[in-house]
Amino acid sequence: MRSLDRKTEQTQANRTFYGAGLVTSLTGVAAIAAAVESAWFFLLAASLVAGGYFVSIRLRAHGKNLRIVETAVIAICLATYARLFATGETSPLLSPGLAMSHKELALAVMLVWAEVVRSFSLVSDDSLLFTAVPSLALIGVVATTSPGGDTLAYFSIWLCSSITMFIESGKSGQERVLAVRLSRSVFESLLEEAVLTHPEAILYPDADSWRRQLEQARVHVQWDPERDLRGRKLDYRSLQVGISRHLIEDYALRWVLELRDMTPLAHKLKNMLREGKHTQAEKLLPRERLYPLPSAIARRLGAA
């Protein structure tokens, strides 16, 4: 069952979450690019960061974790920083534009390149949230080296995108697949007052009458085609039941007899399908049986 007032959410690799993270990262890059007065640096770094975010989303969707990339980036950055401080040598790639003669900006540019590489391994909420830290540091460098610039504008964009990112992060990792057990008497009492979400002519000859019933109904139902693990339609349909907010309290506190967490099984099935083990996966599916609807309910729902 589903509450009629809830919307389906995409949370494994939330696009808004990653979008806000990308804006946060690009704000820091743009601030440094403006400070060193190098358009090609911004275009190159921004393109690579955007590509890194895309790769991270794909890696997360496939359950991959390249934490070793972050470790390698830290080691490379430390070595590069040490060399810069020891010799004072640099290059146009590491120090574009004004950074060639400004050590603080040169260090900020290297931090940008570190974030470019790190953007390819943002496969967890924590790693993505951390992007707000170096981005703010980059804006801080601009504030100290280029007073009177657009620091406030960069900070405002950073603040909005970071807040959005932190809000969206709270939605991740909350998806669960639950098996809910109700008593047959409760289930059938819901169906007895249910109204179909589509005006089947044989059941509702008068469309206006159906519309009024639907608006007043506390229970909505619809018939959806069943599918197998490969997404192919089966020759039977399943009943989807939605309850309104007026029944939520009874549902949560009195009607539910048992909740079983089926999330591990769902993940296991997903991995098996990805590996092409369709036959083995089908054997793990819970056994399904036809529900013996009372004749009066069957006629009401168009199942007779």
The tens digit of pLDDT for each residue in 2-59 reads 443 333 344 444 778 889 999 999 998 998 888 877 788 889 889 999 998 988 888 8
pLDDT at position 12: 43
How many distinct structural domains can be found in the chain?
2
What is the C-alpha separation between 38 and 218, in angstroms, rounded?
62
Judge whether 31 and 142 are in contact, CB under 8 Å: yes
170 pLDDT tier (thresholds 50, 70, 90): low
Domain boundary among 169, 199, 217: 169
Question: Highest mean pLDDT range out of 143-147, 171-175, 192-196?
Answer: 192-196
Query: How many C-beta neighbours within 10 Å does residue 154 have?
Result: 23
Do the domain assignments include residue 94?
A: yes
| Claim to verify: residue 32 and residue 127 sit in the same structural domain | yes
Q: Is 240 helix (H, G, I), strand (E, B) or coil?
A: strand
- Per-residue pLDDT tens digits for 251-277: 888 898 988 888 888 888 888 888 888
What's the mean per-residue pLDDT of the chain?
79
Residue 255's domain spans which residues?
A: 178-301
Between these two residues, 88 and 151, which has the higher pLDDT value?
151
Does the residue 212 lie in any domain?
Answer: yes
Distance (Å, whole) CA 127 – CA 131: 7
Give the rounded percent of residues in the chain with a pLDDT score beyond 90: 14
Quick one: 160 and 183 in the same domain?
no
Say whether both 42 and 161 belong to one domain. Answer: yes
Domain boundary among 107, 140, 169: 169
- 78 pLDDT band, cuts 50/70/90, is low
Task: Identify the pLDDT of residue 153.
Answer: 85
The structure tokens 């669960």 sit at 176
- Cα–Cα distance between 298 and 292 in angstroms, integer? 9
For residues 118 and 217, what is the distance between their CA atoms, to the nearest angstrom?
52
Same domain as 198, residue 147: no
Give tens-digit pLDDT for 237-252.
888 898 888 888 888 8
Exposure of 238 by Cβ count < 10 A (0-12 exposed, 13-18 middle, 19+ buried)? middle
Q: Longest C-alpha distance within the chain, in Å?
A: 88
pTM of this prediction? 0.49
Question: Which of 169, 204, 222 marks a domain boundary?
Answer: 169
